[in-house]
Structure formats: structure tokens, C-alpha cells
Amino acid sequence: MLKVNKLTKHFGGLVAVNEVDLHIDSSEIVGLIGPNGAGKSTLFNLINGFLKPTSGEVFFEGMDITGFKAHDVSHLGIDQSFQASTLFQRLSVLDNVFIGYHMRYKTKYWKRLLRTPSALKEERAFRKDALEILTFMGLQKLRDEQAENLSHGHQKILGVCMALATKPKLLLLDEPVAGMSPTETETMIELIRKIQEKGLTIVVVEHDMKVIMSLCDRIVVLNYGRKLMEGSPNEVLKSDEVIEAYLGKAEI
């Protein structure tokens, strides 16, 4: 589904991502781990179009999307939730989700501007769909609340709702449980499972190993911008290289 070939990104002299190859199959959950500064978020931003790679290629469903703009990538079916709870703070929860329907309008511009019956019908259908997403994720009771008034955990969930609104095929989750309490983390794990059951492909960046272990089919480890290793959760946990990258080399 997603194929990344020798992707490289330089920030001045710093090589944030160095010749990374990545391959993600349909409807799997892949974990992306690595110490701070390993280039995980940069890799996300190279895939979703916020950053242009220095070299290398990104293919999505066989199509070369290297260097595409973020809104075009979103149209193709890749969406993400952000590390910090990035929301439209002053909009209601429902309106936040509603932004994601932006590119799915079928009626003509002028019809929407004049609010003809067909345009209004479309709006209503979107509103219903947005409410379904909120219900699916358990936020329906908070739909009229302003996003900034939500608790941190709910804000993170709303971030995922907003990503789901664009009906992505590939969902990138950047530290979905960062700063969450253990119960909130449990809820989030459940939700991510439920999303995968709907047939979405998910890539998770996360420091919380419990989350990675319980969710992922496959784990990719990055260190200093390079791919350190790749394998099943158990393989990765036993690897000396990984332990070294996280904890440093043991000196005897």
C-alpha cells in the first residue's frame, strides 16, 4: 500500500532521515519507534506532504506521491493525527470533524453558495456522517463543546476523529497516547483496534512500548535517521541493537 524508497531529508547539515526504506501492507498496524530525534515525525511529515524529501521516493497505492502538497496527499487517502493535540481550538467538536469533509463535496460551487436543496442535502448527509464518527469514537455527547474545553485525552481522540473524517485509507498516528492516563491509554488502544477492524491501515509512532506491543503486527526501529531493524514485536524486544540504541552500550 505504502512504499518508501531510500527516503532522505537534510535540514542544513543535519540528516534527519537517511535512506529509509519502508513497506506497509494493507490493513496492518505498523509501529514506528526509536529514541528522541530518530526522525520518526520527520518521516511522517515526508509522507504526508508537509516536508519535501531531499531525495528518495514515496509510492502510495502504486502512485508516485513524492513531493506532493499536503492537501493533495490528504485527497489521495492519507491522513494523520498530530503529536501535540492540534485542533481548531475555537470551533465546536462537531465543526472540527466537519472540516475533514471539505474535499468531498460533489455539488457545484454556485449551488453551495446559494444553498440550493441538493447542496443542503449534501451538508446534512455530511453532518450525519460526522456524528457517526463521533459516536464511533465515543465523543457524541461533547459535540457542541468548544474543542479547547476538552480534556487532553478527549482532545487526542478528537484529533483521530478529524483524521477519520477525510476517510483515509492510511492513518498515521503520531504519539496517540502521549500524556494520557493509564485508563485513557486503554480506551485509545481499544479505539485504534476498532479503527483497524474497519479495514484501515495504521502506522503508529509511540514511546509507550505497552501500546506498541499490544497493537502492532510489525515494528520498524529508527535511530539517527536510519532504519535500525524491522520485525515482529518479540524480535525487536530481544534485539541487542535496539536495546543499545535506547539504553546505550553496556561496558564491561
Partner 1 sequence: MTSPYKRIIGLTVLTFILAMVPLIVKSPYYMHLLIMVGMNAMLAMTFILMLRAGLISLGIAAFWGIGAYVSALLALRLDLSFWMAMPLSAIITGAVALCIGCVLVKNPGFGFIIETVVLGEIAVLAFAHLPLFGGYKGIVSIPPVDPIHIPFLFSIEFVSKTASYYLILFLFLLVAIGYSAFYSAWTGRAWLAIGLNPRLAESKGVNIYRYRLLAFVVGSAGAGLAGSFYAHYYGAIAPTTFNVFKTIYIHIFAILGGVGFPVLGPIIGAFIMILVPEVLRVAKEIEPIITGLLLILLVLFLPQGLLSLLSRRKKNARPVG
From the CB of 30, what's the least distance to partner 1, in Å?
20
Pick between residue 79 and residue 206 the one whose CB is nearest to partner 1. 79
From the CB of 137, what's the least distance to partner 1, in Å?
16
Pick between residue 144 and residue 197 the one whose CB is nearest to partner 1. 144
Pick between residue 99 and residue 243 the one whose CB is nearest to partner 1. 99
The beta-strand segments (E) located in 126-237 are 170-174, 201-205, 218-223, 226-231
The beta-strand segments (E) located in 65-157 are 78-81
From the CB of 9, what's the least distance to partner 1, in Å?
17
Pick between residue 15 and residue 70 the one whose CB is nearest to partner 1. 70
Q: Which three cell numbers stand for residue 75?
A: 485527497
From the CB of 211, what's the least distance to partner 1, in Å?
23
d(CA 161, CA 28): 19
3-state secondary structure of 153: helix
Amino acid, single-letter form, for residue 25: D
Pick between residue 56 and residue 82 the one whose CB is nearest to partner 1. 82
From the CB of 121, what's the least distance to partner 1, in Å?
14
Cα→Cα distances 121→85, 133, 171, Å: 32, 19, 28
Which chain residues interact with partner 1 by CB under 8 A? 48, 50, 69-71, 74-75, 79-80, 82, 86-92, 95, 98-100, 102-103, 105, 112-115, 144, 146, 162, 165-166
Amino acid, single-letter form, for residue 144: D
Strand 63-64 and strand 55-60: the pairing is antiparallel
From the CB of 182, what's the least distance to partner 1, in Å?
28
Q: What is the dihedral of CA 48, 53, 57, 59, to 10 degrees?
A: 10
Pick between residue 25 and residue 72 the one whose CB is nearest to partner 1. 72
- Of the candidates 91, 79, 73, 99, the one whose C-alpha atom is nearest the C-alpha of residue 155 is 91
Side-chain-facing half-sphere of 52: CA atoms under 13 Å: 4
